[in-house]
Chains A and B, each alone.
Chain A
Amino acid sequence: MRKSLIAIAAAAALLLSGCAGGNGDPSPGGPPAASEVDRDARLSIGTLSTPATWDAAKNVGGPEPAMLRLVYDTLIEVDENNELVGGAAESWTTEDGGVSYILTLRDDIAFTDGAPLNAEAVKANLDRALTLEDGTLRASLGNVASVDATDEFTVTITQKVPDVTLPVLLTDRAGMVMAPSSFASGEVTRPVGSGEYVWVAESPGVSVTLDRNPDYRDADHVLLAGVDIRAMEDPVARLNAIRTKAVDMTFVGPEQVDEAKALPGISSFDVKGRSLRVIYVNKDLEPAFGDPDVRMALNKAIDREGIANGVLFGAAEPAYQLRPEGGAGFSEAFDSAITYDPEGARELLQKAGYGEGLSFNFVTQPRFQKEAEAIQASYSAIGVDMTIEILPGAGAGTALWYDKTASIGMANFDGRLDIGLAYQTFFVEGTAYNPSNILDEDLIAMIGTQAGLVDPAERQRMHDDMATLIATSPLGAWPVVWGYEPVLYTDEVVGVKPFQTGFPALKGVGKSQ
């Protein structure tokens, strides 16, 4: 039993392994010596926003779970090498090929309200996430049939069909363990967890103050006295903030990378796989998009290299699959039929009967205006007339996925925690991100199968096939470019590890004397 446990754990770990992406200048490896660190120092960080809600079961994800992880433990964690390691659960195993997972919890964790983090608490959290009326995790946990506290510190999660991505889900909101007292009344007004930091105060949308959690299970490893979060929506503002050392650590976008890396006394590493620019199409609103030749033509007309180098100043890479180079699940052996070929695109359009031209309205977020303009010019060159509509806020997403008023547009994709989940998000039937259900039966079958493949090599091969498929005949979601998001920190900050899960990831971070 032990052997298979280790094997499974290793396999699961390998599931997400792979180099952590070519990084900038990460801090020298290894945790800083205790003597180097000022344990009374606070870290001030600039983030995109403050969490709209600290309730893990209602949080909408994106950049926010990273902040929630500062105050909550997750059952499983991801380290800087994208490997799964134990969090609140010290180990996990599946004995039935991924149908059910047995998690063994640590026995030494307590919430800041004194209650123990045990199987009952975990079950309470998961049951709530599964049943909460306005919960946001119900879809992603849709495959969970039941959660049982089989022992004081043992939890068994049983799924409906085999799915090896469950452990990965438990590294995010689904695996966050909130103190049951904090949601006893229904609403979580202030977060109570067992994480490295404790929530102290907050000005919504502006700032959050966190202090070190003195009862944290590995208290010695928390090197900061506290974290002060400042919300700055504009990456220019964040760059200015770190330039003037108003914050110690922050992240910026591709436009700021050159300058950021040239700043004296500032180090950085790139987070590569959290911002994919994706084009979504809806064939019900524009029948042309129902034609595979048209879809391929529109893909071939895009100069992905040009966008990566020109619009995003090289802090980006062209995307033909759902992972950046070096990311977990990236297919090395990969043949993309999509190349930058305006002539070929024009021919395909002709063949499909749109030689006279095609026109449509393209929606996107303000963030991607430049990418949209570049695409507009490329399409204009092959006789496709595109008007751009910049919709602020959640407008573009709403128009594409919910109201379904836009036939084509570009929105952000954060990569999802596992490549299989990414495929699921885009290509199965009925998902919001596939608003007109452009489907490929083979792909759907493969998505189903890969969820149950325990052997990582076998799973990767299937992912290779899937990557080839979507690059040979594009469906309803087309990857365009990955924009890098460099994390910047001053030279006073030590112990920084190049976590790829998003910003902020502060395990092991401290400030020098």
Chain B
Amino acid sequence: MSAITKTEVIATLAGSRPTRGRFVQRFRRQPIAVGALGFLLLVSAMALLAPWLIPHDPYQQDLARVLQTPSGEHLLGTDELGRDVFSRLIMGARVSLLAALQGTTLAIAIGLPLGLVAGYVRGRVDGAIMIVTDALMALPALVLAMAIVAIWGPSLTNAMVAIGIVTAPRALRLVRSSVLQIREETFIEAARSIGTRSIVIVLRHVLPNVVAPLIVFTAILAGTVMLMEAGLSFLGLGVQPPESSWGAMLGTSFRYISRAPLLAIYPGLAIALTVLALNLVGDGIRESIGKKLQK
């Protein structure tokens, strides 16, 4: 160790952070991932601009014209209360995307710091955190979320908090396993050798290298969270009327499945395509971050 000079150590440390330029280059070379990212941006734009995009008031009922098939006036027909499906689908994007964001953010907010601690500190702290994590993961996620929402009362926020809590263990595990790999790298040893404090090491050197796999994971997680929100809303435990998410629209459509099967197609397709795009983007990012850091 003494053979390596401080200058060399600092140089090594500098070179240990992933570069952005090569990443973007590699990403751009994957048409599918780029396409998927484009789709996501489109959907997000649609969600943001929703109030200006919708042809009809999504809450306007017309009890005389329920469950109509697509027509000139109603591009995708009307729902069970005579509301314009197309407009509701666009408004639903807002709710679904926002919900996915909430749930994912919470899961990462819980999983990241705990994962960092568990992975870096190890020992009994790690043991304790992992036992709690394993206990949580032994319980069926959806059922657990249902039970939590049943305790607090059905609402979208409660549902997303529940989902965030329930999916946090996965984030924690991912972060922890990344940290476990990274802490064995030489530059970490080097940093320790020059006496850097643990917390600085974690924040300056470990965290940036965790970010890459974490982003990949986050894209996938967002998809999972979206699917879980759809599940809870399907059961009536998520968003409350007259607000609607894609999952809630799917749930309502089940009641009228033989009368108006098309109603089940649109929101389901929307969810599937969005989650698909998230997964493809995640794949794309994974391919782009370079082999060395992928292990």
Is there any pair of Cβ atoms, one from A and one from B, under 8 angstroms apart in the complex?
Answer: yes
How far does the Cβ of A36 sit from chain B's closest Cβ, in whole Å?
Answer: 32
Q: Contacting chain B: which of A192-200, A215-223, A304-312?
A: A304-312
Asked if A233 lies at the interface with its beta carbon under 8 angstroms from chain B, I say no
Cα A259 to Cα B236 in complex, Å, equals: 25
State whether B259 touches A370 (Cβ < 8 A): no
Chain A interface residue count, Cβ-Cβ cutoff 8 angstroms: 28
Q: Contacting chain A: which of B56-64, B109-117, B268-276?
A: B56-64
User: A236-B254, A307-B63, A377-B61 given as contacts; is B241 within 8 A of A388 (CB)?
Assistant: yes
Cα A389 to Cα B241 in complex, Å, equals: 8
Asked if A40 lies at the interface with its beta carbon under 8 angstroms from chain B, I say no
Cα A309 to Cα B255 in complex, Å, equals: 17
State whether B240 touches A306 (Cβ < 8 A): no
Asked if A214 lies at the interface with its beta carbon under 8 angstroms from chain B, I say no
Asked if B154 lies at the interface with its beta carbon under 8 angstroms from chain A, I say yes
State whether A390 touches B154 (Cβ < 8 A): yes
Chain B interface residue count, Cβ-Cβ cutoff 8 angstroms: 25
Report chain A residues within 8 Å CB of B64.
306, 309-310
User: A311-B81, A390-B154, A391-B154 given as contacts; is B63 within 8 A of A373 (CB)?
Assistant: no
How far does the Cβ of B238 sit from chain A's closest Cβ, in whole Å?
Answer: 10
B83-108 interface (Cβ within 8 A of A)? none
B258 CB contact (under 8 Å) in A239, A303, A306: A239
Cα A259 to Cα B261 in complex, Å, equals: 13
B69-89 interface (Cβ within 8 A of A)? 80-82
Give the nearest-CB partner of B65 in chain A: A310
Asked if B257 lies at the interface with its beta carbon under 8 angstroms from chain A, I say yes
Asked if A62 lies at the interface with its beta carbon under 8 angstroms from chain B, I say no
Q: Which of A310, A374, A387, A389 has the most CB of B within 10 A?
A: A310
Cα A258 to Cα B257 in complex, Å, equals: 13
State whether B63 touches A309 (Cβ < 8 A): yes
State whether A387 touches B61 (Cβ < 8 A): no
State whether A377 touches B241 (Cβ < 8 A): no
Q: A303-B63, A307-B63, A310-B64 are in contact. List 12 more A-B contacts (CB 8 A).
A: A236-B254, A236-B257, A258-B259, A259-B259, A309-B64, A310-B62, A310-B63, A311-B81, A374-B81, A377-B61, A390-B240, A391-B154
**A–B pairs, 26, beta carbons within 8 Å:** A236-B257, A306-B63, A306-B64, A309-B64, A310-B63, A310-B64, A310-B82, A370-B81, A372-B241, A373-B81, A373-B241, A373-B242, A374-B61, A374-B81, A376-B241, A376-B242, A377-B59, A377-B61, A377-B81, A388-B240, A388-B242, A389-B153, A389-B154, A390-B240, A390-B241, A392-B150
